[in-house]
Structures are given as C-alpha cells and as structure tokens.
Amino acid sequence: MARGELSTAEYDVLSAWVTGTFTGQGSREGVGKDIGKIVVFNMTESGEDGQNLRMDGTGQPIPWTQTASSLQNKVPTLQRTTIDAYREVNAQKAALRRSFQPSIEYELVDSAQLEPIFKRGGGDWLAFYKQFPGSQGVLTFSRVGFSADGTEALFFLSNHCGGLCGTGRYVVMEKRNGRWVIEKEIEMWVS
C-alpha cells in the first residue's frame, strides 16, 4: 500500500462508525434515523491543516502532547500506541475511495462539487440540502490509527451541517468478537 492511501482496516473502522451512528445498529441507537444518505468529503483531514487541533482561550493551538494527554485522561483504556499511530498516519492527507461498506447510502464529494454551492452568491446550506436531500451535511474523516495489536482504533471526524451546525470529535473504537464498536466519542468542538 502506498503512503497516503487508506487501508482496508481503516475503511472497516470508518464503515462501522457510520453504520453504528446513522442506522441505529450501534451504541448510539436512533441518532441518525432520519438520515437517508451520508455525504463524505473525499480527502482526509490531517494534523497539518489545523482542522483537528484544539485551540486555547486565546485562539492559539494547543500542543499535540496536551491533546494526547487529554485523550488518555478521557479514555483511560486508550493505548499510547494507538495515539502515536494516529499522529503518524495523519502526517499527510489521503484521498478516499468508494471503499466504505456502511449499511447506508453514501456519496463522496470533492471541493469542485462544493465550491459552487458555498461560494458567495452561489448558494448556501439550503442549496446543499437541495442537491443532497436526506443527508447529514458534509462529513470529513481523518486517517485511522491502530493499537499495536490491532484491537483499538482512533480517528477524528468533523461534520458540517449548517451555519451554526457542526461538530468535531475524536472517536475511539474497539474490536469485539471480530466487529468494530464505538467505545467512546470525545467532542472537541460544536457550533
């Protein structure tokens, strides 16, 4: 596998999160019951683009070491190898392919599809939902970091769904009886 491509294991984790979140087949039953399809941005977020960096009260980025400590404090079972793998794999962005296997319809979109909708005078969220009816907004994933034994996974996601509608969170998943399940979600921002 070339650097910058998601592995099958990463797609398995992300697909399990989507299914568990939007179909009620996971620990968050009923959360996405009115969602008919999900819209996923076709590039991952990376640590370099600042999208998943926490900011302090003055708007300055919080160092990764503090974020890593905070994650371990909130999820004491989170392994350091998982956090380190997450950071390493997210050193650069990667393109997503139609390799998800969720139990819900999905569409990959790129900036060329979104720019005309959101540029000044070109539309807004009403135009987005007209083009993508029944969707949850635009979901962007990071790459997935795995524990050394492959039974724990960590990734970041953001979902933008309107002017003051959105969230960003880290997700810890655990492999139980051969299936990925959501262990904990750590909300980092909400609008």
Query: Distance between CA atoms of 20 and 177, rounded to whole angstroms?
Result: 16
Query: Distance between CA atoms of 170 and 77, rounded to whole angstroms?
Result: 14
pLDDT in tens, the chain (191 residues): 445 789 999 999 999 999 999 886 544 443 455 788 999 999 998 754 444 456 666 777 778 888 899 999 999 999 999 999 999 999 889 999 999 999 899 999 999 999 999 886 667 899 999 999 999 999 999 999 999 999 999 999 999 998 888 999 999 999 999 999 999 999 988 88
Main-chain phi, psi angles of 27, to 5 degrees: -75, -5
Query: Distance between CA atoms of 162 and 125, rounded to whole angstroms?
Result: 6
Which pLDDT score, from 0 to 100, does residue 11 have? 97
Query: Distance between CA atoms of 191 and 189, rounded to whole angstroms?
Result: 7
Which pLDDT score, from 0 to 100, does residue 29 have? 40
Three-state DSSP at 149 gives: coil
Which pLDDT score, from 0 to 100, does residue 63 have? 85
Q: How would you classify the pairing of strands 152-162 and 145-146?
A: antiparallel
Three-state DSSP at 156 gives: strand
Which pLDDT score, from 0 to 100, does residue 31 have? 45
